[in-house]
Structure 1
């Protein structure tokens, strides 16, 4: 099964925005992680002021729809522009499908993060297609390994 969810990016006020969305839609966050939770990486330093900002938050808003978001923080902070601060996040049921979608979507576009295994357990990548639409592709490796 493949699902597509909106992914919103903020410039330091993600937590405030998602507390508002939680008040609007109800429910609870299924995940809330901060940049301070990430493993240290000298290639992508996180400033002291960004450490408490949101790395990722998930809020189910009905059925299979999850509103997701993060602050720009760290190495990506210079890329924030109102209007390009939404991505479509696709979750697929196989690594092969993730690679296929990523390859097709990034063709003639721009890769911002190659598909790779991540510290949070997903096989994940990000790109912007040739039409300027931002995409996040992920396959949950940890769940498939335990099945």
Structure 2
């Protein structure tokens, strides 16, 4: 069982630009990118421009990781949601347990469920106003 904390940056349509910038500025290495077009449940109203936005990306910078995404179109990006903390585990049930614990007296922003980029993912703001993304990454 492993648990790690990772900064998670959410931008408004500029994640691809940020990734290129971080590659040049601080030697970031792209580990994965999933666009909204890669997601199976996106509405037919999504244009090609919207489909090219980043739903989830993971970069390696030195020994650390950084995750990024674009806010979905039409979703206001609240000031407290621009940078969040991503808690990563290697077990779906452990991720679910953490998610359920953090939602007590808090607010669920995105229900915990399987996503194309993670077998167990959810977004929750705890009772102190800190937003966490719970991310499962299976080993192997």
Task: Report TM bin, short chain.
Answer: 0.7 to 0.9
Q: TM-score, normalised by structure 1?
A: 0.82
Residues 1-147 of structure 1 mapped to structure 2, 5 A cutoff:
1-42=2-43, 47-48=46-47, 49-63=49-63, 65-74=64-73, 77-141=74-138, 143=139
Q: Per residue, is there more strand in 1 or in 2? A: 2
Number of residues of Structure 1 aligned to a counterpart in Structure 2: 138
Runs of 4+ in 1 over 4 A off after TM superposition: none
- CA distance in 1 between partners of 2:79 and 2:118 (Å): 30
The farther-off stretch of 80-89 and 54-63 is 80-89
CA contact (8 A) 1:128 1:134 kept: yes
TM-score, with structure 2 as normaliser? 0.86
Q: Where does the alignment leave 5 or more consecutive residues of structure 1 unmatched?
A: none
Long gaps (5+) in structure 2: none
Residue 46 (structure 1) shift: 5.7
- Provide closer, same or farther for how the CA distance between residues 91 and 37 of structure 1 changes in structure 2, counting only shifts above 3 A: same
Measured in 1, the distance between the counterparts of 2:78 and 2:110 equals 19
* Distance in 1, Cα, partners of 2:35 & 2:84: 19
What do the CA deviations read for 1:8-46 (whole angstroms, capped 9, x no partner)?
00011111112111112214201122111111345xx66
